[in-house]
Chains A and B, each alone.
Chain A
């Protein structure tokens, strides 16, 4: 299985993603330059974290016009898996691959921390290796992470089991105090209606080795490997 990791001008999570899927997972990976028009046979696309185009206008607003995004959108339309992390999540929302938007953190501060997220749905290609309700310790690093959508969209996401991860406290309770950015309904990650695009603000690719703080993100990539290779 081959991962394609898109590098935009301003990406900074691309090397971490490469490390996670090659070293920790043992899969193949290539970097895909944002100006390219070829996914080079990648089975899974990762839109990594960072500050593509300096977050000009709005985070992710300009990156969605990068040439490679046409191919990424086509890959997603065909049902190809996409992991959109942090800035990648912002780009995926701007590109219409996922509903909603990510706004300035409610506290106005950039937040770099390790937070707890709860696995809300284990019946996705990204989460089936987790136990239901499992609490993960995953780093976050963002200034614009407040997931926002209208009530109808939020209800639909919840009703269809498309909320993949939620911010909770250490006991798994959904509280305001455990919400690092003011995201509506403590939403940390969602999947697309077809279930093949995952967007999340936390960084699972920075949590693949207990020696570096947490290995809780690895099962996300293992879930995909099991599903895509099968």
Chain B
């Protein structure tokens, strides 16, 4: 089965994210004063062949730990697994 797995990778809370800060500042300038914080990361979409949905998710989790996210500075979250 082929599964489409989405991953969010963002700078870890507490680590300075200058891009996020610049975005938050720009939003404030536009009048979106409700924005308390913004963090800018990456969104990846992977089409993965796997036996089950759970296997697809576990495989992507391993990819995140080994390559897609930097364990020192980033957190990742599997945002969705579905048939493409």
A100 to B11, CA, bound (A): 14
Q: Once bound together, how far apart are the Cα atoms of A93 and B43, in whole Å?
A: 23
Cβ A149 vs Cβ B67 within 8 A: no
Chain B residues, Cβ within 8 Å of A103 = 11, 15-16, 73
Q: Interface range on chain A: under 10, 10 to 19, 20 to 34, or 35 or more?
A: 10 to 19
Structural contact, A61 and B67, CB atoms closer than 8 A: yes
Interface size on B, residues (CB 8 A): 11
Main secondary structure of the interface of B (DSSP, over half): mixed
Residue on A nearest B14 in the bound complex, by CB: A150
Nearest CB on B from A61, distance (A): 7
Interface residue? A212 (CB, 8 A): no
Those of A86-145 within 8 Å (CB) of chain B = 93-94, 99-101, 103-108
Question: Contact between B19 and A148 (Cβ–Cβ < 8 Å)?
Answer: no
Say if the beta carbon of A58 comes within 8 Å of chain B.
yes
Q: Is the CB of A104 within 8 A of B18?
A: yes
Chain A neighbourhood of B19, CB < 8 A: 104, 108
Residues of A within 8 A of B18 (CB): 104-108, 182
A58 / chain B contacts, CB cutoff of 8 Å: 70
Q: Is the CB of B70 within 8 A of A101?
A: yes
Point out the residues of chain B lying under 8 angstroms from A149, CB to CB. 72
Contacts known (A104-B19, A105-B18, A182-B16); A148 close to B73, Cβ less than 8 A: yes
B38 an interface residue at 8 Å Cβ cutoff? Answer: no
A103 to B11, CA, bound (A): 10
A148/B68 in contact, CB under 8 A:
no
User: CB of B79 within 8 A of chain A?
Assistant: no
- Inter-subunit contact A148/B72 (CB<8 Å): yes
Q: Which residues of A contact B (CB under 8 A)?
A: 57-58, 61, 93-94, 99-101, 103-108, 146, 148-150, 182
Interface residues of B (CB under 8 A from A): 11, 15-16, 18-19, 22, 67-68, 70, 72-73
16 A-B pairs with C-beta separation under 8 A: A57-B68, A93-B72, A99-B72, A101-B72, A103-B11, A103-B73, A104-B18, A105-B18, A106-B18, A108-B18, A108-B19, A108-B22, A148-B15, A148-B73, A150-B72, A182-B18
